Structures are given as C-alpha cells and as structure tokens.
Structure 1
Amino acid sequence: MSTISTHVLDTGLGRPASGVPVRLSREGLEIGAGTTNEDGRATDLTSGELQPGTYQLWFDVAAYAASSGQDIFFPEVTVTFTITGEQHYHVPLLLSPFAFSTYRGS
C-alpha cells in the first residue's frame, strides 16, 4: 500500500511551520486534507490506499503567513508528483519569504 506524508519547514524563521493547511488531490478531486502539527508534519492526509497516478499536494502558505505574522511572496504552493508503486512517499516543503523548495524524502 502506498502512503504519503509531508513536512513543512520555515527556513526563514528556522523552525517547523505549524498550522499550514494541506490538501491532497488526484485528477482534480480532493482525496484528503489536514493541517501541519507543531512539528510541521502532516501524516494522515488520507485513510485510503493510494493507487499509482499523478497527485497534487496544495499548501495554503497565505494562511500560515498570516498566523505567523509574515509577508510571504508565494500565497500557495502546489507540488505535483507521481506515485508508481507500493511504498511510502514523503514530500517535504521548505519555505522562506521569497522562495520555496521541495524534494522526495524518505
């Protein structure tokens, strides 16, 4: 069974980004949602098995910026990725006021 998790880190402030709303979708349909915890992690975005295909993680950066008192250039971030087999997919997001970065973690 394939699973997914994410971890959002605020590199500008040097801490986890807690309270970031996150949505998981496939083919335009939302299949899961959550909010990052105090450690910046969202691990329970969906309770169902993820089939091979293309997915999107959408991060509401504007909501996080407002709650943390920051001005951030990118109000939202969407990461599109492909699930190809039965394994765990970890997709971290690194935020700063004028940039973001992502990668496939473990």
Structure 2
Amino acid sequence: MPGIRIYKQLFTNCIGWSQCCALELLCQHSAGSNGKTQTVLLGLNEKSSTMAGSPLTTHVLDTALGRPAQNLAIDVSYQRSESQEFDVIARGKTNSDGRAPNLLTQDQFLAGVYKIKFDTGSYFKTIPTVGFYPYVEVVFEIHNPNQHYHVPLLLSPYSYSTYRGS
C-alpha cells in the first residue's frame, strides 16, 4: 500500500477507532476471544511526513460520526505582545482527511501566543447537525518555534477535546 508503513502487531488495550485515528494509526478492530477489543496495527499513516514543512498542524475528527471533519474553516491568529490583540495570520480548511496542511511556514512561526479558531457552526450546518458550539478557539503558547506543534480537535455536537499532539 503506498504511503503506508506496514506493521504486524497486536494491541489488546486499544479503545477503538478514535484512539487509533488520533495516533495516526491504520488499524483493524475485532472482538477477541477474551471479550476485549483486539486491534491489529496494519500501518502508520505517513501523511504527516508530507506536512513536515509546516511547523503547526491540526487534525479535526468528528467523533460522533467516526470520521474526519472535512471542509471545516480554520483561522490561525498571533497575539500582539503590546496590545494583547490577536491578528489572523493564516486561513485554511480541512481536507478529506480532516487536516489543514501548510498553515504556516517556518519563517512565519515565532515564539508567542497563538489561537486556532475552528468554525464548527458552519461545519455542523453542512452535515446537517445542530451543534452547541458555534466555534472553538484553542489558545496556546509557543516557547520554541523550532519544534513541530500539532493541535488536534476531537469534535462532536455537544463536546470537544484538544491536546498537544506529535
């Protein structure tokens, strides 16, 4: 399979699709003889290597539907230190895999406070679903702009979660 690094490994403590997808794993889930979900790791998604040029990446997963959130608008803002106001420095939309590649170049990426605004309200209207959050803003601080930062969003109509990924 192109773009897939093949592995043969059995995980017995995997909690299912959302965990594998969040970790960028390609898995096959089945019920084991002991009643636990067994997961065979088929491969590691290498799409992240094609986005290596962007120091800031994101991935939006619709956990209610069990699939990536496609065409979700994203704004990336940088906070001015003197006024504490945010200026939009990049805009994008998630692709069919729920990712927004090439948001920033390494030259644009400085130490400071950033905000990613996810337009969840417009996304929910397209699927069509009534959501509770019209948008989600994730504010975070970059201390070392030479590192890669991945800020995923796990989304459902009435909840969301985020974390610093890898």
* TM-score, length-scaled by structure 2: 0.61
Shift, 1:2, TM fit: 7.6
Determine the C-alpha separation between the residues in 2 that align with 1:71 and 1:13: 13
Structure with bigger gyration radius: 2
Aligned to 2:5: none
Distance verdict in 2 for CA 1:84–1:26, change over 3 Å: same
From 13, 25, 28, the equivalent of 2:77 is: 25
Distance verdict in 2 for CA 1:2–1:43, change over 3 Å: closer
Deviation beyond 6 Å, 4+ runs, structure 1: none
Aligned to 2:112: 53
Aligned to 2:96: 38
From 5, 11, 15, the equivalent of 2:67 is: 15
Determine the C-alpha separation between the residues in 2 that align with 1:79 and 1:19: 18
CA RMSD of aligned residues (A): 1.4
Aligned to 1:70: 129
Q: Which structure exhibits the higher relative contact order, with contacts defined as CA atoms closer than 8 Å and separated by 6 or more residues?
A: 1
Shift, 1:45, TM fit: 1.3
Determine the C-alpha separation between the residues in 2 that align with 1:74 and 1:40: 18
Asked if the contact 2:151–2:163 (Cα under 8 Å) also holds between the matched residues in 1, the reply is yes
Count of aligned residue pairs for this structure pair = 106
Determine the C-alpha separation between the residues in 2 that align with 1:7 and 1:19: 12
Structure 2: state its 5+ residue gaps: 1-52, 80-85
Identity rate of aligned residues, in percent? 47
Structure having the higher strand fraction is 1
Deviations 1:67-103, CA, capped at 9 Å, x for gaps: 1111111010000001111110000000011100000
Asked if the contact 1:22–1:35 (Cα under 8 Å) also holds between the matched residues in 2, the reply is yes
Deviations 1:27-74, CA, capped at 9 Å, x for gaps: 211110100000000121123431110000000001100111111110
Asked if the contact 1:23–1:45 (Cα under 8 Å) also holds between the matched residues in 2, the reply is no
